[in-house]
């Protein structure tokens, strides 16, 4: 596919055929070489066919092949006459990242490394199947109230909610549209990591690029932090499956045609569209609560390992962001404020300074943007800018370089684990053999992804985080 270079880090997929808008890909030369090795550029073009799409079909620097949308895809559709597409959200609804600061230094962690990792290993349920911290009896309450329900049941603290996107409870949720099959799966998994690229990682603030913003976020050089990456588990996956099944017939009824059946979609203001958004928001509340409960358990693990009270751990929530959601927001389109449905699939919301939806104490700095690297490499904290060209969106991670099959063929899991341990990174996997699927070599360079975000005006770098220990499914 012919691409037009607009700047050193912006590429255009020219509008052609049934595309309603052009595509825009944020990448430098090295990242673009990788992008061209799969069919994600074709997916950027396909997304541009969606009814009601405005401005462009965007792709973040961590772009790679996904279901319907590329991972890293962003598209805004007009609420008045546009569509919502589950492929623009993904199966793991509201998958996201939570970052906790602490009162500990790297030296503190090294003195208690075995105890900390042992407690996390023991306390954190993970893997593809059953496993939960919280009882299944509170799932319906969670679907109604999100992380607020988790706090009500003793997980975390009310002040945590202030540092959580949407305060941990997505608007418009309706628990009654969640299927019984999804509920059954959710009851067995509330408070669990899952598998794949999900993790709980102990990190240290390795470098600070923006001291003032880092201080406002509660981060300092040498500080030990905990990053949690997970989503809505089987409940969200089943919800996406349920609604994709319904949308094929609905598309024919609404007279909608798209170039890829994985881009199944319906009008936002249709019965099917409203039901999907209500089910998505309820699933998002499950994900908010899931990360909230895991953070509570991480605090308990540190308190036990260090022999102190939870308060003495100093473990405060920096922020919690989602990267698989569609949200109704107001953005300027062709010079006019317009209500749009912003699909962010493997992309993080990145509101700039002054945005009214940000916590008051962070408003002048912009939203914290959490960009995890691969297992064994750095992660980044960025902050939103007021010149974002892609509906206030930024990258959500390093982005895959290899498929899981390719990665597993390169090295066995035991070698990956030995390599990480030799670099001082403790690994507590549920399955050693699956570690190779998530090895550092399977991902792009997160430092480059963060740099391109900054150069493209998506977000600016605040602090780099280096891994000390990881718990994996």
Per residue in 325-371, pLDDT tens? 999 999 999 999 999 999 999 999 999 999 999 999 999 999 999 99
pLDDT at 64: 96
Distance in Å from the first CA to the final CA of the chain? 38
Has residue 318 been placed in a domain? yes
User: What CATH number is given to the structural domain containing 248?
Assistant: 3.90.1860.10
Query: Looking at the predicted structure, is the pLDDT value of residue 376 above 90?
Result: no
Burial of residue 26 (number of CB atoms within 10 Å: 0-12, 13-18, 19+): buried
The whole-number pLDDT of residue 388 equals 97
In a domain, 429, yes or no: no
User: What are the angstrom distances between the C-alpha of 289 and each of 78, 173, 371?
Assistant: 30, 14, 20
Within-domain flag for 412:
no
**What residues make up the domain containing 194?**
4-401+443-472
Identify whether 406 is part of a domain: no
Residue 426 lies in a domain: no
Tally of structural domains, the chain: 1
Q: What is the residue-wise DSSP string for 18-69?
A: T-SS-EEEE--HHHHHHHTTSSHHHHHHHHTTSTTEEEEEEEEEEEE--SSS
59 in a structural domain: yes
Confidence of residue 105 (pLDDT cuts 50, 70, 90): very high
By three-state DSSP, how is residue 151 classified? Answer: helix
Beta bridge partners of 333: 336
Question: CB–CB of 244/237 below 8 Å?
Answer: no
In a domain, 165, yes or no: yes
Q: Cα separation of 138 and 154, whole Å? A: 12
Residues 416-425 pLDDT 10s? 999 999 999 9
- How are beta strands 10-13 and 23-26 bridged, if at all? antiparallel
Q: What is the pLDDT of residues 163-195, one digit of tens each?
A: 999 999 999 999 999 999 999 999 999 999 999
> CA 416, CA 438: separation in Å to the nearest integer?
9
Tokens 């605040």 sit at which residue? 462
pLDDT the model gives residue 249: 86
**Cα dihedral: 335, 389, 95, 295 (round 10):** -100
CA atoms of 309 and 299, how far apart (whole Å): 9
To the nearest whole percent, how much of the chain has pLDDT over 90? 97
**Is 46 a residue whose pLDDT tops 90?**
yes
Mean pLDDT (the chain, rounded): 97
pLDDT band at 248 (very low <50, low <70, confident <90, very high): confident
pLDDT of residue 2: 86
By residue count, the chain amounts to 473
Report the relative pairing of strands 199-208 and 324-333 from DSSP bridges. unpaired
Measured distance CA(91)–CA(230) in Å, rounded: 12
What are the helix (H) ranges across 146-179?
147-152
Rounded distance, CA 319 to CA 361, Å? Answer: 12
The answer to whether position 421 is within a domain reads no
Q: C-alpha 365: how far from its chain's center?
A: 21
Please count the other Cβ atoms lying within 10 Å of the Cβ belonging to residue 421.
11
Confidence of residue 88 (pLDDT cuts 50, 70, 90): very high
To the question of pTM greater than 0.95 for the whole model, the response is yes
Active-site residue list: 396
Burial class (CB in 10 A: 0-12, 13-18, 19+), 58: buried
């Amino acid at each position: 596919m012919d691409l037009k270079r607009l700047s050193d880090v912006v590429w255009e997929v020219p509008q052609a055929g049934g595309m309603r808008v052009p595509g825009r890909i944020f990448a430098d030369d090295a990242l673009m070489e990788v992008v061209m090795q799969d069919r994600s550029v074709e997916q950027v073009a396909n997304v541009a066919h969606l009814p009601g799409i405005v401005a462009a079909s965007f792709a973040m620097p961590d772009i790679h092949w996904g279901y319907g949308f590329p991972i890293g895809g962003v598209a805004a559709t007009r609420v008045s006459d546009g569509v919502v597409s589950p492929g623009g959200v993904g199966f793991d609804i509201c998958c996201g990242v939570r970052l906790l600061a602490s009162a500990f230094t790297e030296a503190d962690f090294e003195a208690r490394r075995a105890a900390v990792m042992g407690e996390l290993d023991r306390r954190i349920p993970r893997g593809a199947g059953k496993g939960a911290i919280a009882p299944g009896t509170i799932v319906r309450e969670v679907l109604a109230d999100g992380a607020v329900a988790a706090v009500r049941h003793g997980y975390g603290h009310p002040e945590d909610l202030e540092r959580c996107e949407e305060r941990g409870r997505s608007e418009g949720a309706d628990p009654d549209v969640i299927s019984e099959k999804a509920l059954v799966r959710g009851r067995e998994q509330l408070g669990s990591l899952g598998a794949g690229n999900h993790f709980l990682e102990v990190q240290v603030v390795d470098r600070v690029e923006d001291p003032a913003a880092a201080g406002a976020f509660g981060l300092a050089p040498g500080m030990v932090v905990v990053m949690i990456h997970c989503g809505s588990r089987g409940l969200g996956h089943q919800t996406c499956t349920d609604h994709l099944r319904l949308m094929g017939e609905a598309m024919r009824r609404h007279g909608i045609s798209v170039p890829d059946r994985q881009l199944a979609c319906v009008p936002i203001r249709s019965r099917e569209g409203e039901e999907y958004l209500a089910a998505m928001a309820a699933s998002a509340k499950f994900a908010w609560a899931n990360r909230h409960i895991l953070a509570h358990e991480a605090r308990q693990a540190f308190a036990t390992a260090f022999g102190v009270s939870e308060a003495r751990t100093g473990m405060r929530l920096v922020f919690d962001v989602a990267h698989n959601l569609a949200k109704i927001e107001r953005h300027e389109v062709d010079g006019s404020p317009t209500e749009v449905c912003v699909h962010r699939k493997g992309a993080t919301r990145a509101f700039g300074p002054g945005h009214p939806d940000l916590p008051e104490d962070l408003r002048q700095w912009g939203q914290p943007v959490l960009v995890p690297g691969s297992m064994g490499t750095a992660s980044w904290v960025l902050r939103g800018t007021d010149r974002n060209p892609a509906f206030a969106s930024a990258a959500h991670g390093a982005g895959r370089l290899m498929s899981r099959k390719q990665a597993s063929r390169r090295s066995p899991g035991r070698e990956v684990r030995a390599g990480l341990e030799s670099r001082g990174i403790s690994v507590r996997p549920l399955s050693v053999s699956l570690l190779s699927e998530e090895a550092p070599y399977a991902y792009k360079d997160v430092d480059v992804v963060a740099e391109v975000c900054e150069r493209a005006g998506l977000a600016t770098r605040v602090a780099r985080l280096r891994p000390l220990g990881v718990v994996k499914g």
